Structure 1
Amino acid sequence: MTTIRHVLREGQPRSGIETRRARRLPALRGLVLVCGLLALGACDAAQPGAPGTPAAAAPAAARQPEESRMWMTVGTRRFAITLADTEAAREFAAMLPLSIDMPDLNSNEKHAELRKPLPTNAIRPGTIRSGDLMLYGARTLVVFYQTFNSPYAYTRLGHVDEPAGLAQALGSGSVRIEFSKD
């Protein structure tokens, strides 16, 4: 893009329109810059845990309402789970405490049949994340410990808050997992 300054030679008189355009250009650039900075600041401030917000000082586990939390214990490791806001998750939480043997499937998940079916609202998430707690069909509980793409549909139950070490804790074979509210 050629600006007016490049077209006009030094000492040539400018028309009224060219003069007004030349004066508005720096002001317009400044306005665009200020708007951009304000928008970025608003995005940062709206993020949960953004610096300067009260929630930033509290650990993730302390910020969750008690009814939206549960625990998963594998051997000596305990993982906090934030429950999804779904009817299936609420009914699953009502079944707790629950101790269940979960065999491995595809080296990325543990699964087990529940004693009763749960309500479903299956979606195809596309990407499964390590720490996802899902329901396949109406009765198959699945704990994913690897991130991968999947064409299958699941009902979301929750997610392990900090899945670091989850794969190591679950191991490669069948494992007993304890789900509890406290």
Structure 2
Amino acid sequence: MRTGTILFLMLFSLQLLACTVNKKKNIEPDTPNSTSMKLRITVGQKKFVATLYDNATATAFKAQLPMTLNMTELNENEKYFDLPSSLPTNASSPGTIQPGDLMLFGANTLVLFYKELTTPYQYTRLGRIDDPTGLSTALGSGNVTVAFELDK
């Protein structure tokens, strides 16, 4: 009987440890960069300023700037472009995506969202446009050229 009690306590302890580890995973790892990595996003004549998150993906993306991309329309809520090389990832399910969210799908698909949506898909967060007012109008309904550069 004593062996059964010890075994139960060991399994119970392991379960508590697993719960603690899972709680740590749910903490949002991406925060606006403390050094204010600002990004200028230009669509036609309209300019937007975004703040990059403090993560390895944003750092690798920043190293590729400046870049001008012909982004493809998808689902009437986002524009995307397949980058020529992969970036580091730390994908998670964001649940609700807001207009102005800049994310990475997979390891190399850059996505700029211009409408709110709920999604089951996983993305790695890159940054967010500080004020997305007018973003949907600027991006329009089809493919569009978008320039990304560091904001000085």
Which of the five TM-score ranges fits, normalised by the shorter chain? 0.7 to 0.9
User: Deviations along 1:90-113, whole A, 9 cap, x unmatched?
Assistant: 110110000000010000000010
Q: In the superposition, relative to structure 1, how do residues 143 and 87 fare at CA in structure 2: closer, same or farther (>3 Å)?
A: same
Q: In the superposition, relative to structure 1, how do residues 91 and 67 fare at CA in structure 2: closer, same or farther (>3 Å)?
A: farther
User: Deviations along 1:40-67, whole A, 9 cap, x unmatched?
Assistant: xxxxxxxxxxxxxxxxxxxxxxxx8665
1:100 paired with 2:69, answer: yes
| Residue type of the alignment partner of 2:106 | G
In the TM superposition, residue 68 of structure 1 has moved relative to its aligned partner by 1.2
Distance in 2 of aligned mates of 1:65 and 1:78: 23
1:81 paired with 2:50, answer: yes
Q: Which has the higher strand share?
A: 2
In the TM superposition, residue 122 of structure 1 has moved relative to its aligned partner by 0.1
| Residue type of the alignment partner of 1:163 | P
Runs of 4+ off more than 4 Å: 64-67
Q: Which has the higher helix share?
A: 1
Distance in 2 of aligned mates of 1:137 and 1:175: 21
Q: In the superposition, relative to structure 1, how do residues 162 and 97 fare at CA in structure 2: closer, same or farther (>3 Å)?
A: same
> Could you tell me the percent identity over the aligned residues?
50
Q: Is the 8 A contact 2:68 2:148 kept in 1?
A: yes
Distance in 2 of aligned mates of 1:136 and 1:65: 24
Residue 133 (structure 2) aligned to one of 137, 160, 164: 164
Question: Corresponding residue for 1:118?
Answer: 87
Max radius of gyration: which structure? 1
Question: Corresponding residue for 1:135?
Answer: 104
Return 5+ residue gaps in structure 1 as ranges: 1-63
In the TM superposition, residue 172 of structure 1 has moved relative to its aligned partner by 0.4
Q: Is the 8 A contact 2:34 2:54 kept in 1?
A: no
Q: Is the 8 A contact 2:101 2:127 kept in 1?
A: yes
Aligned residues: 119
TM-score relative to the length of structure 2? 0.76
- Greater RCO (CA < 8 Å, at least 6 residues apart): 2
| Residue type of the alignment partner of 1:155 | T
TM-score relative to the length of structure 1? 0.63
